[in-house]
Structure 1
């Protein structure tokens, strides 16, 4: 994996992460406040699901 590819992936992630606050700042803030009230185990499960989906997509892409 080249540094350029890693940098491109990171840049694309930042673009996608920035779309929520850019386009829907009030909804995004409300979502973040609700997420802050969740139990740590629920947040951990969400993180696990996202990591597994990402790993599967990377595996299928290669």
Structure 2
């Protein structure tokens, strides 16, 4: 059985892999996407971030 620390490190490693696929395979599209995101209003970015965090926390709650 894995310890809590090992599970956290594995989760971070998986996030890094998933987040790295976009820029690695689609660099130009990724760059345009980031430019579009940077032009969004701050409140919209915060709302989106809050929704993602909530979905993640609820998912973890049901998975554990």
Q: Give the TM-score taking structure 1 as reference length.
A: 0.93
Q: What is the total number of aligned residue pairs between the two structures? A: 62
Structure 2 gaps of 5+ residues are: none
Which residue of the partner structure matches residue 30 of structure 1? 32
Whole-Å separation in 2 of the counterparts to 1:10 and 1:33: 25
Structure 1 gaps of 5+ residues are: none
Task: Spell out structure 1 runs of 4+ moving beyond 4 A.
Answer: none
Which residue of the partner structure matches residue 56 of structure 1? 58
Q: Give the TM-score taking structure 2 as reference length.
A: 0.90
- Give how far 1:23 is off: 1.2
Which residue of the partner structure matches residue 8 of structure 1? 10
RMSD: 1.0
